[in-house]
Structure 1
Amino acid sequence: MNKIIDPHLHFFSLQQGQYHWLKHNPPGWPNLDRIRQDHLPDALFSLSDFSLEGCVHIEAGFDNEQPRRELDWLAQLLPASRYKAVSYAQIDAPAAQFRRQLEALKHPSLVAIRDITEGQDATRLLTPQVADNLACLSENGLHFEAQFELNQHNVVTQLCNIARQVPNLRIMLNHSGLVGQADSWLENAALLAALPHCAIKFSGHELLATPLPLQDQLTRLLDLFGTERVMFASNHPVCLIRHDYLGVWHQYLALCQQDNALWHRLSYANAKNWYGFNGS
């Protein structure tokens, strides 16, 4: 059986969490009815074909006013050895406020924070306080889950400048940088790849109307980041826009073209190393 660690998924409990973005202002996604329901761990930890050894739960708007509630809820669902958690904090908040947010989030499962900055919202990453807040993350042993389009050159330049000032800062770029077929992104990807503590998750392609062909994109990312800083991820349950969970992982397995060593790195070993899972 193929062992995997999924470094980007979401569990939902619509009764216990708020999920305003999904319940009250839902995106116009295909198959929304399949996504807008409870999604809990048991279904994924009893798969055929793949053995889910661990996962990284990415904040899903359970309660953005009190994001610690999501961490406490996850701790009731999963044994500590099987998951890590990425929570929410406002990355462009004033520095003192950001430190208070992190203090309130202290939890054994916490490894990183994410604040989605896609589209015009990416300009928030250009504000001066972001450098202080990213340094604060690094001081606390946490990394930054960055989510913006790779064609945003000013944002990439800003993050690179900050990373050079904070050499231990770890950055994980979500969803392959949301690269579409018409985007100019390779130069910016190369800038991020030059940072030794920056990695990228190969996921989120269902979010784009015209994603770059997956084999082409994977080849280019491996050329830039190497085989130890790219990892496959599902984005479950949002992946249901196009594929069910098993379908996503079978698609990734096919991309490795029977290269077992590459598959092991991208589906298991890299996520294990970057997110600090124990075990072989």
Structure 2
Amino acid sequence: MKIIDPHLHLFNLEQGHYQWLKTDSPPYWSDKKTIRQSFTEKDLALSVPLQLAGFVHIEAGFDNQQPWREIAWLEDSCSLPFRAIAGVNLLLPTSEFQQILDKLDKFESVVGVRDILDENACAYLSNPHVKENLARLSQQQLIFECQMALTDVVATEQLIAVINELPTLKLVINHAGWPPEDIDSKQWKNWQSGIQALSGYENVAIKCSGFEMVNRQYSAPWQQHVIKHCLATFGLDKTMLASNFPLCLFKSSYQKNWITHFENQPLSTNELELLCYKNALRIYKIPI
């Protein structure tokens, strides 16, 4: 089965900054050393019955001030079909934000940008600069990779308001919107409500990945609950499975990560092809 991995990170520690990977910088993970090394596409090893046909590289902090440097490295070093999501500070004045977009526009692989919202989602989504910059993304038909917790009811409402203001903004929810581990909690219900509300927009898709960031030893039943709910709401055409490589290595190998994504799910070969290949091919316009 062919795979397009729509959410992974490659590192070049010799050329990039990667401040977040340094021991004395947050996040202060005790197992950070597992991923504190360079990773290239040669490390994306899959074996039968899986075959990696392409991928989407998500910015990884190579150079937060000059994000085009990361893209230049990728385009110079990768041979597999791929697309890139660049890191851009949404809080920048729109003139500076546009200057960065103009530089990124020179690279064929760039199809969107990301600025991690997470706990700052409310502050970001209520900021006039952010709204104007998201409007620029919409105008230039660039994807916004949205990483935030959909358990945050207020932030989710703000995100929906932005989507209503910018109906042509292409948006992809990262890491399934950070579902909580306790499926009997109020937070889980909040997450379900957020997923349900966002699923109604044709311009919003979702990626299921990053489970190891919730718990390094997450359970398979919990993972399947998350994927099942995303499929029940977003549907087969707007849901993607992804790895979050190399962070998935906190839990298991790249191969095992993919196998556990869809084992025990009652999915046909055609359905798996949509979740693992065709949707990413279409949404990110992978050159295959």
Q: Same fold (TM over 0.5)?
A: yes
1:171-197 deviation line (CA, Å, top 9, x unaligned): 100001011123221111111111110
1:243 counterpart SS class: coil
2:112 corresponds to which residue?
A: 112
Residues in 2 aligned to 1:247 and 1:29: alpha-carbon distance in whole angstroms: 22
1:38-84 deviation line (CA, Å, top 9, x unaligned): 111113256443111000000000011111100000011113x6100
2:17 corresponds to which residue?
A: 18
Would you say 1:83 and 2:82 are equivalent positions? Answer: yes
- The runs of 4+ residues in structure 1 deviating greater than 6 Å are none
Would you say 1:129 and 2:129 are equivalent positions? Answer: yes
TM-score by length of 1: 0.93
1:251 corresponds to which residue?
A: 260
Residues in 2 aligned to 1:4 and 1:259: alpha-carbon distance in whole angstroms: 15
Residues in 1 aligned to 2:132 and 2:94: alpha-carbon distance in whole angstroms: 6
Identity of aligned residues (%): 35
1:196-238 deviation line (CA, Å, top 9, x unaligned): 1000000001001368811111111111101111100000001
Residues in 2 aligned to 1:101 and 1:249: alpha-carbon distance in whole angstroms: 34
2:13 counterpart SS class: coil
Would you say 1:64 and 2:64 are equivalent positions? Answer: yes
1:234 corresponds to which residue?
A: 243
Residues in 1 aligned to 2:31 and 2:249: alpha-carbon distance in whole angstroms: 7
Residues in 1 aligned to 2:26 and 2:76: alpha-carbon distance in whole angstroms: 27
Q: 1:158 Cα shift? A: 1.9
Contact 1:92 1:125 in 2 (8 A): no
**1:83 alignment partner AA:** F
Residues in 1 aligned to 2:211 and 2:19: alpha-carbon distance in whole angstroms: 23
Residues in 2 aligned to 1:92 and 1:270: alpha-carbon distance in whole angstroms: 30
Give the unaligned 5+ runs of structure 1: none
Contact 1:160 1:195 in 2 (8 A): no
Residues in 2 aligned to 1:34 and 1:49: alpha-carbon distance in whole angstroms: 27
Q: 1:258 Cα shift? A: 5.0
Q: 1:22 Cα shift? A: 0.3
1:163 corresponds to which residue?
A: 163
Residues in 2 aligned to 1:86 and 1:135: alpha-carbon distance in whole angstroms: 17
Residues in 2 aligned to 1:148 and 1:166: alpha-carbon distance in whole angstroms: 18
Alignment size in residue pairs: 277
TM-score by length of 2: 0.90
2:263 counterpart SS class: helix
Q: Which moved more, 1:156-165 or 1:10-19?
A: 156-165
**2:245 alignment partner AA:** H
**1:38 alignment partner AA:** S
Contact 1:9 1:233 in 2 (8 A): yes
2:198 corresponds to which residue?
A: 192
Question: CA, structure 1 residues 177+189, in 2 after alignment: closer, same or farther (shift >3 Å)?
Answer: same
1:95 corresponds to which residue?
A: 94
Contact 1:91 1:125 in 2 (8 A): no
1:151 corresponds to which residue?
A: 151
Indicate the RMSD between aligned Cα atoms, in angstroms. 1.8
Would you say 1:220 and 2:235 are equivalent positions? Answer: no
1:92 counterpart SS class: coil
